[in-house]
Chain A
Amino acid sequence: MNLTVVSINAIALVCLAFSFLKDRAKTAQALRAALKSGIGLAPTLLTILVLIGLVLGFVPLETIARILGEGSGAAGVLTAALLGSILHIPSLVSFPLGGSLMKAGASATVVAVFITTLTMVGFVTFPMEIRVLGKRFTLLRNGLSLVAAVIIGLLVGVIA
């Protein structure tokens, strides 16, 4: 158990206590929602965890580091951006996935680009976004988000 784990659980408990004091019914509703999304998320989460296990167990770290590491340059960033744009997984799941890549030797830039495109750019949700917000809006938003992701990644690489 580390500081992060303790802080996150402490925050949750404090918020929960505060909410409970203010409104019990709402708090119960919140807990039900939490349980529901937990159950909904479970299969995807476990699938990704098994995948992480396999990737870290089978793919030699040098290979991951070569494709996505510091020395991978533009090719690594492009790979991450492309994968992140195409894959459609819940954003909560993108962090353990990014963490496993980082652990395996991927650079901070590549991981940041991957997470940002994963959450901000969605090929799979394109039709839905076009239907609601229009083609022009959708293409511009996703295109500029892709550019933004690469810039964010480069900045993270400099700062982190």
Chain B
Amino acid sequence: MRPGMQRSAVSPPQPERQSPARGWVVLAAMVAVAAVLLIAFPEQRDPSIAAFWEFLLEMVWVMPAVLVIMGLFAVWVPKEAVNRYMGRGSGARGMLIALVFGTLPTGPLYAAFPLTKGLLEKGASPANVFVFLAAWACIKIPQELIELQFLGWRFTLARFVSTVIVIVAMSFVFQRLLGAKEGAPDGDV
């Protein structure tokens, strides 16, 4: 599904989608480098392999669950819904909506750019859009679960709270500096 894009006249940006094969080639190269290093430095072999296994196991325990949660989010919170609700409501309410809706969808940040353009055209304030993009980038709910696993409750909670406070504050600076443009995207080609 690529909702949100149909409203923009510009052709949707094709993120330089790496072909699936490319990822495997990079992996093969990495494994080759690792093999050479581990053969050349036998005393480093055990700690390296131990660290690899440890992180692999931690990943295996949570990754399937997180992927399932992301998949469910993707079908139950379609991007059209975000487009429908965002940009309504102003002030604190609008910002809260932006924050919450930023944490719900899944997908890389660049997938949010076309959606953002649509929101700005619809009249969402630049501050709200800034919060939306920032929340999308670094405090998405499914991602926070992976963070819990690898960095613990304390760190995750601390980063979540700090992020919310700082991006809300920074969004006003953003809006101010963006200034006269009123958030109208000037990127039309």
Q: A residues engaging B (CB < 8 A)?
A: 1, 4-5, 8-9, 11-13, 15-16, 19, 26-27, 29-35, 37-47, 49-54, 56-58, 90-92, 95-96, 98-100, 102, 108, 111-112, 115-116, 119-120, 122, 125, 128-137, 140-141, 144-145, 147-148, 151-152, 155-156, 159-160
Within 8 A of A (CB), among B152-174: 153-155, 158-159, 161-163, 165-167, 170, 173-174
What are 29 A-to-B residue pairs whose CB atoms are below 8 Å?
A: A4-B148, A15-B72, A30-B76, A34-B68, A37-B67, A47-B30, A49-B56, A50-B34, A52-B55, A54-B34, A56-B48, A57-B44, A91-B140, A95-B150, A111-B155, A119-B138, A120-B133, A120-B138, A125-B110, A132-B116, A136-B186, A137-B178, A137-B181, A137-B185, A141-B130, A151-B162, A155-B158, A155-B165, A159-B161
Are B149 and A57 neighbours in the complex by a CB distance under 8 Å? no
- The yes or no answer to B91 lying at the interface (CB within 8 A) is no
A133 touches which of B37, B134, B147, B187 (Cβ 8 Å): B187
Are A116 and B149 neighbours in the complex by a CB distance under 8 Å? no
Within 8 A of A (CB), among B1-48: 8, 10, 13, 15, 20, 23-24, 26-27, 30-31, 33-34, 37, 41, 44-48
Among residues of B, the one whose C-beta sits closest to the C-beta of A138 is B187
State the Cβ distance, B122 to closest chain A Cβ, in Å: 14
State the Cβ distance, B44 to closest chain A Cβ, in Å: 5
Given A8-B145, A53-B49, decide whether A38 and B63 contact each other with a Cβ distance below 8 A.
yes
Q: B residues engaging A (CB < 8 A)?
A: 8, 10, 13, 15, 20, 23-24, 26-27, 30-31, 33-34, 37, 41, 44-52, 55-56, 58-59, 61-72, 74-76, 108-110, 113-114, 116-117, 120, 126, 130, 133-134, 137-138, 140, 143, 145-151, 153-155, 158-159, 161-163, 165-167, 170, 173-174, 177-178, 181, 183, 185-187, 189
Given A144-B174, A152-B163, decide whether A53 and B72 contact each other with a Cβ distance below 8 A.
no
Given A115-B138, A156-B162, decide whether A125 and B167 contact each other with a Cβ distance below 8 A.
no
CB within 8 Å: A-B pair count: 263
Are A132 and B150 neighbours in the complex by a CB distance under 8 Å? no
